Amino acid sequence: MIRTRIVGTGSYLPERVVPNREAGAALGIDPALVTQLTGITERRWAAESQATSDLGVEAGRKALEAAGMQPSSVEAVLLSTTSPDMSFPSTACLLQQKLGCGGGPAFDLAASCSGFLYGLSMADAMIRSGQFIQCLVVAAEVKSRVLDPADPDTALLFGDGAGAVVLRGEKASGRADRGILGIRLHAEGARHDLIRIPVGGSRQPATPESFRMKGSTMRMRGAPLFRLAVRKLDQAIRDIMKEFGVSLEEVAQVILHQANGRILSQLTTRLGLPSSKICSVIERYGNTSSASLPIALDHAVRSGRISAQDMVLLGSFGGGITWATGLVKW
């Protein structure tokens, strides 16, 4: 039996700090009110010279350094993003070349804010099947390029960043072994309209007119998405805990998608968790979409919040709609 372990984590945030006053300038909203509504005081935006692959490379390098691995040892590269460098080739292929990884597979996957856990699940399956031993999973987003500064549902929330993990397959003998215990993925395509970028694909190609009408910017129905996120993720967390016979008391850290401070607060209350078990970085980085969970995970690891043998619960929710959970024995 093979079990997949996370042997290195990394993250990268662009240098440019964007405080609430700047993010909300077109809306005329008081910065303190933004923090009250979202839990965010600042976020990072990529420089004009930076694309998604550039952020992903930096996070990937840090994860490889933490794992004590050379890029050439990576057998597969999976990259989660909904803000790729270009339509094709995949941003994963660009990242593979920039890092100097080997000639194994490299591909993108798009599951919005749940993309990191979708990618983690795919890499875990490939490792457990014996196809590969070591994989790099990266989530990188540059959402600042698709924001409408006059849209209150999105302009205040999103930032740019990247997070990464190195996975390694190791022989396991039983339940006590460290590694990924399980990841559970979900989607409900009937609610795809809750958050989307309507223009730019084959259904509605980008045109000068659509650009003028801001069709290529992100649109979100915040209130119904908020309610659905809390309900679906709450139930999914309870389901995976029951499936693996793990109680919340046994969990050392809960790492969730950093969507909104109020969502994190609601889930903490509903699950009856002490705030010390919830890792939150949203105040400084905002919502970095699929990159937010691995960024928070890297922060928790490097700050000493996670130690060997700890039980770690992962959860995310995003457009599609998609949601996912995971359990890891560190």
Regarding whether 195 and 94 lie in a shared domain, the answer is: no
Coil vs helix vs strand at 56: helix
The CATH number of the domain where 263 resides is what? 3.40.47.10
pLDDT at 211: 74
Write the pLDDT tens digit of every residue in 90-112.
999 999 999 999 899 999 999 99
List Cα–Cα distances, 132 to 2, 106, 166, in angstroms: 11, 13, 12
pLDDT for position 165: 99
Annotated catalytic residues are: 113, 257, 287
In the chain, where does DSSP find H-type helix? Answer: 20-23, 31-38, 52-67, 91-99, 115-128, 208-212, 222-244, 261-271, 282-285, 292-302
- Helix, strand, coil shares of the chain, percent, nearest 5, are 40, 25, 35
Per-residue pLDDT at 173: 72
Check residue 210 and give its pLDDT. 74
Confidence label for 176 from pLDDT (cuts 50, 70 and 90): low
Enclosing domain of residue 163: 2-171
Confidence of residue 200 (pLDDT cuts 50, 70, 90): confident
Q: CA-CA distance, 223 to 226, in Å (whole number)?
A: 5
Same domain assignment for residues 212 and 133: no
Look over the chain and give the mean of its residue pLDDT values, rounded to a whole number.
95
CB atoms within 10 A of CB 266: 18
Indicate whether 161 and 142 sit together in one domain.
yes
Residue 193 pLDDT > 90, yes or no?
A: yes
- Residue ending a domain, among 171, 192, 218, is 171
Residues 189 and 303 in one domain: yes
Residue 293 reports pLDDT greater than 90: yes
pLDDT for 305 beyond 90:
yes
In this predicted model, what pLDDT tens digit does every residue of 3-15 receive, in sequence order? Answer: 999 999 999 999 9
DSSP letters along 171-194, please? E--STTS-EEEEEEEEE-GGGGGG
pLDDT band at 174 (very low <50, low <70, confident <90, very high): low
Q: Are residues 50 and 164 in the same domain?
A: yes
| 3 state SS of 202 | coil
Lowest-confidence segment of 33-37, 105-109, 211-215 by average pLDDT: 211-215
pLDDT of residue 53: 98
Q: What are the pLDDT digits (tens) for 50-76? A: 999 999 999 999 999 999 999 999 999
Give the per-residue pLDDT at 144: 97
Whole-structure pTM value: 0.97
CA-wise closest residue to 184 among 244, 126, 139: 244
Number of structural domains, the chain? 2
Domain end call among 105, 136, 171:
171
Rounded to an integer, the average pLDDT of 219-248 is 94
Q: Which residues contact 195 (CB under 8 A, 6 or more apart)?
A: 112, 218, 219, 220, 221, 225, 318, 319, 321
Same domain? For 236 and 325 the reply is yes
Neighbours of 105 (CB within 10 A): 15
Query: Which pLDDT score is estimated for 209?
Result: 81
Q: Are residues 118 and 187 in the same domain?
A: no
What are the residues facing 314 on neighbouring strands? Answer: 255, 326
Domain co-membership, 281 together with 306: yes
Please tell me whether residues 18 and 167 are part of one structural domain: yes
Is there a single domain that holds both residue 229 and residue 162? no
pLDDT exceeds cutoff 60 at 175:
no
In this structure, are residues 116 and 316 in contact, taking their beta carbons and an 8 Å threshold?
yes
